[in-house]
Amino acid sequence: MPDPLTLPAQRPLLIAGPCVIESEDHARMMADRIREVAEAAGVALVFKASYDKANRTSIESYRGPGLEEGLRILDGIKRDMGVPILTDFHEPGQAEPVAQVADVLQVPAYLCRQTDMIVAAARTGRVVNIKKGQFTAPWDMEHAVTKARRAGCERVWLTERGTCFGYNNLVSDPRSLVEMCRLGCPVIFDATHSVQIPSGAGGKSGGRRELVEPLIRAAVAVGVDGVFLEVHDRPDQAKSDGPNMLPLERLGAVLEMIKRIDQARRAGEPPERRDL
């Protein structure tokens, strides 16, 4: 299978995994199962899991195993299963150690305006995936892209994950995907965080899992380069973001849907418009 990091040539890309590393055994099981499903569908995979969720609603919420242990687990998955790794980081000083393991460094949405974060990620030489802040207009992501490129990074991805719509609610605007694609970067649609209800379940975030698949259909029809999905074998028992995660049992059907829609979109457009 072609290198999944060669976007936009290799598309549609799947970025998938549990929200956070819950245990080494669980992370390895999820990586193996997701890899099997992606290979069966002929879809390129980047495995995603967080070593630390530094932006949890409550101080009581589970955050993950931490930087050192989390990177050890992700490195084992990468070596043993042969999958590229994406993980987010939360401080500029974490960029270098994370880049020793991760193929893609992710700047969290809440930190997409933090210059030092973007510059630190860019200087590692890895792919940098910048999530568009819930508070950010899509055209304003031009400034984030410029920061990364001036720091020496040419492989910049942008990820849409919904926009604040009043309190405790997000809305996905397909125009955002078109606008960000005009910035000359591959664009990813984060379908699971887009249905999140921030802080909507008391001391944690809620979500509307039933909207994940309809939003994927819309985003792929518009023409994204990849889809970001947090996936769990038992989302109702997940330690983070369970209400908005896709059940593992649905992943195969979703990938087939993505492929069919992407093929139909390409066939129905003139050659000069087959990429946004």
Question: Residue 146 is part of a domain; what is its CATH number?
Answer: 3.20.20.70
**Distance from C-alpha of 221 to C-alpha of 218, rounded to nearest angstrom:** 5
Helix (H, G, I), strand (E, B) or coil at 164: strand
Structure tokens at 76: 């084992």
List strand residue ranges (DSSP E) for 28-117, in order: 45-48, 85-88, 104-107
What pLDDT score does 201 carry? 57
**Residue 7 counted as domain residue:** no
Confirm whether 244 is domain-assigned. yes
User: What whole-number percentage of the chain has pLDDT above 90?
Assistant: 79
pLDDT(257) > 80: yes
Establish if 8 belongs to a structural domain.
Answer: no
pTM: 0.93
What pLDDT is attached to residue 10?
62
pLDDT, position 55: 82
Is the pLDDT assigned to residue 217 strictly greater than 50? Answer: yes
What band does 199 get if pLDDT is binned at 50, 70 and 90? low
221 found inside a domain: yes
Question: Is residue 205 in a domain?
Answer: yes
Residue 2, pLDDT > 60, answer no
Report CA-CA distances (Å) from 155 to 103, 109, 127.
11, 18, 5
Domain enclosing residue 153, as ranges? 13-55+63-268
Answer whether residue 78 is part of any domain.
Answer: yes
Give the list of residues 6+ apart from residue 223 with CB closer than 8 angstroms, or none.
177, 181, 262, 265, 275, 276
Give the model's confidence band at 115: pLDDT under 50 very low, under 70 low, under 90 confident, else very high: very high
Residue 79, domain member (yes or no): yes
Residue 274's pLDDT band, with cuts at 50, 70 and 90, is: very low
For the chain, how many structural domains are there in total?
A: 1
